[in-house]
A = this chain, B = another copy of it.
Amino acid sequence: MQVTVWSGTTQALCAALILMVPLAAAGIALINAGLGRSRSAAHAMMGSVCVIAVAAVAYFVCGWSWQGFPGRPAHVFTLAGKEWNWIGADPFFFRGLPLDGSRGEFVAWLQMFSVGVAALAPLGAGNDRWRLGASCASTALLAGWTYPLFAHWVWGGGWLAQLGVNQGWGYGFLDAGGAGAIQAVGGVTALSIAWILGPRHGKYAADGTPAAIPGHNAVLVLFACFLTWLGWIGLNAGGSLLFIGAGPADVPLVAINTTLSAAAGALAAAGITRIRFGRPDASLSANGWTGGLVASSAACAFVTPASAALVGVIAGLLVTFSVEWLDARLGVDDPAGSISVHGVGGLWGLLALGIFARIPPGRVINGMGAGSSGQWLAQLAGIATLLGSVLPMTYWLNWLLNRFHPQRVSAEGEPHGLDLYELGAGAYPEFVIHREDFRPR
């Protein structure tokens, strides 16, 4: 049996990896701000800091309680003679947190960071029109309820993880770095927010023709790729150590796979936009890069570098088409491409594990060992849960929030930009800015 010992060495390595995760948050924050308008750039960054703060606090207050960790208290229901674990039952305010350097303590640390990463995805979809207070309230719901619930199902010994033991579907649902539990949860929430808010003023002409509203700072967006790169190595390798029994010797492979997937995603997006539009598109290439990272997360420790590159290529293409499809066909205005990058990329990553993963024979995960088959069924179950259960739940919660207090900035406030309207000060008060609006193409 090859279950990695949780030694001091692994603790130190895991800490070094978790330390990279805030760089993922920093990168997504810059992508969100850079792909928005200059007149709401300070608001976008202020929103990112507040979202990170609210997510950490909400997760501390009650999120961790619902998520928990295998072996911690949880609620169980019985169905068809099998016991299914559906929600954690830890005390609030981290009062039950083991302070012994155990896997559980490191999980709490990693999760407090990664819940913020998930909460930044909707922020990008709400660029230029989502009120600050509403984004904080929505984040509290995500970090205090939706995220930990699904994370419990995946990483807390919950029913998705039990699909192997209870149902014989491979090792149960697997997601080392959070393609589903972090990214797709963030992505479907981004979709809900974009739906509820509606498109930006001026985004669509009366006949539905979309205007291209370019991001105000491409340098920040592309610089962010370097930060997400590092952040995802932290998410993927840290998650591998904590959730799927990987050891220090697996970390270089995870880092190599993560890098190749990002690289392939960026090049695929650059190539397909070059072919289709005559010129490579910088924003979409940045989205392809991040999409490759997102897609790498589930299977990073279980695939060859060649498979990782292929997963990235497909992610880059999917993100490009999804961005266009949402923008031009579905009329969903997602300025930062969050739905495509985090949602579509994440779901593809979960599926890719079912297709490409080769789990080492001696590894035991979720109580299952060698000889497990039908992993793709467990992955499909997870995808179906995200689309059929998490998406409606997060939509409904945000719809309800919108009923109590409108999430969208007022119609007279939007043209001024969120910076002046909500914060009373612009991001770049000394720079001369073009005031004219963009026109439909």
Contact = CB atoms under 8 A, between A and B. Distances in A.
A299 interface: no
B285 A429 contact: no
Interface string A14-26: 0111111011011
B429 A49 contact: no
Interface stretch (A70-78, A189-197, A219-227, A321-329): A219-227
A53 B262 contact: yes
Contact of A30 (B38, B223, B256, B309): B223
Contacts of A113: 259
Interface string A232-263: 01100000000000011111110110011011
A46 B105 contact: no
Given A56-B259, A101-B250, 18 more contacts: A8-B9, A9-B9, A12-B13, A15-B16, A17-B19, A23-B226, A42-B218, A42-B222, A45-B219, A46-B285, A53-B264, A94-B256, A97-B305, A109-B252, A219-B427, A282-B425, A431-B433, A432-B432
Contacts of A344: none
Contacts of A84: none
Interface stretch (A121-129, A273-281, A401-409): A273-281
A100 interface: yes
A38 B248 contact: no
A149 interface: no
Q: Kindly state the interface size class of chain A when it binds its partner.
A: 35 or more
A18 B253 CA distance: 13
A3 interface: no
Contact of A424 (B94, B249, B281): B281
Given A9-B11, A15-B16, A22-B229, A60 B282 contact: no
Interface hub of A29, A37, A425, A428 (most chain B Cβ within 10 A) = A428
A234 to B, nearest CB: 8
Contacts of A101: 247-252
A266 B49 contact: yes
A112 interface: yes
Contact of A41 (B23, B97, B219, B306): B219
Given A16-B12, A279-B422, A309-B57, A222 B432 contact: no
Given A57-B263, A260-B56, A46 B282 contact: yes
Contact of A16 (B16, B30, B48, B214): B16
B50 A99 contact: no
Contacts of A105: 249, 252-253
Contacts of A141: none
A46 B256 CA distance: 21
Contacts of A94: 256, 304-306
Given A16-B15, A19-B233, A49-B225, A249 B99 contact: yes
Q: Which 9 A-B residue pairings sit nearest by Cβ, starting from the closest?
A: A101-B249, A53-B263, A45-B222, A26-B226, A8-B9, A16-B16, A42-B218, A12-B13, A109-B252
Nearest to A27: B226
A370 interface: no
A75 to B, nearest CB: 24
